[in-house]
């Protein structure tokens, strides 16, 4: 079973605090199956979980930052709001989304470089 970085962090927290998954599900006010799906990368981590986990496990600022980074690395879905986008931007987003699953690392790096250059020139 593939675990996300977030899943690894919360497993360590449970073991460290002698808790089981059901205990954590209660803390997060969620079902056990949903917590499992999040840990295994099938669902995104709900935003409100960070504060609940930080409070319950009394995490430091650096531990919170590590968890937030793990959440970003563990995302399985991203939303792009195109309300203010033009027609070309919308077509670009759709083309990227369609090609994403088949994209090789070289192509992804080229796109990343192109976007990084755009960010650098706007500063």
The string of pLDDT tens digits covering residues 11-66 is 999 999 999 999 999 999 999 999 999 999 899 999 899 999 999 999 999 999 99
- Label residue 18 left, alpha or beta by phi (over 0 means left) and psi (-120 to 50 means alpha): left
* Band of pLDDT at residue 78, cut at 50, 70 and 90: confident
Predicted confidence at residue 30, as pLDDT, reads: 97
Question: Looking at residues 71-98, what average pLDDT do you find?
Answer: 85
Report the CATH fold assignment for 5-74.
434 Repressor (Amino-terminal Domain) (1.10.260)
Domain ranges for the chain: 5-74, 87-122
pTM to 2 decimal places: 0.67
Can you tell me the distance from the alpha carbon of 23 to that of 40, in angstroms, rounded to the nearest whole number?
18
Q: Which DSSP letter does residue 108 get?
A: H
Q: Which residues of 78-92 are buried (b: 16+ CB within 10 A; e: fewer)?
A: eeeeeeeeeeeeeee
């Amino acid at each position: 079973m593939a675990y996300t970085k977030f899943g690894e962090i919360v497993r360590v927290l449970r073991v460290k605090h002698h808790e089981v998954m059901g205990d954590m599900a209660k803390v997060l006010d969620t079902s056990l199956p949903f917590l499992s799906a999040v840990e295994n990368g099938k669902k995104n981590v709900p935003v409100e979980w960070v504060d609940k986990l930080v409070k319950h496990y009394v995490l430091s600022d650096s531990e919170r930052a590590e968890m937030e980074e793990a959440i970003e690395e563990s995302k399985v879905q991203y939303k792009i709001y195109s309300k203010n986008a033009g027609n070309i931007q919308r077509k670009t987003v759709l083309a990227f989304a369609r090609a994403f699953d088949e994209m090789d690392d070289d192509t992804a790096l080229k796109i990343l470089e192109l976007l990084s250059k755009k960010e650098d020139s706007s500063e």
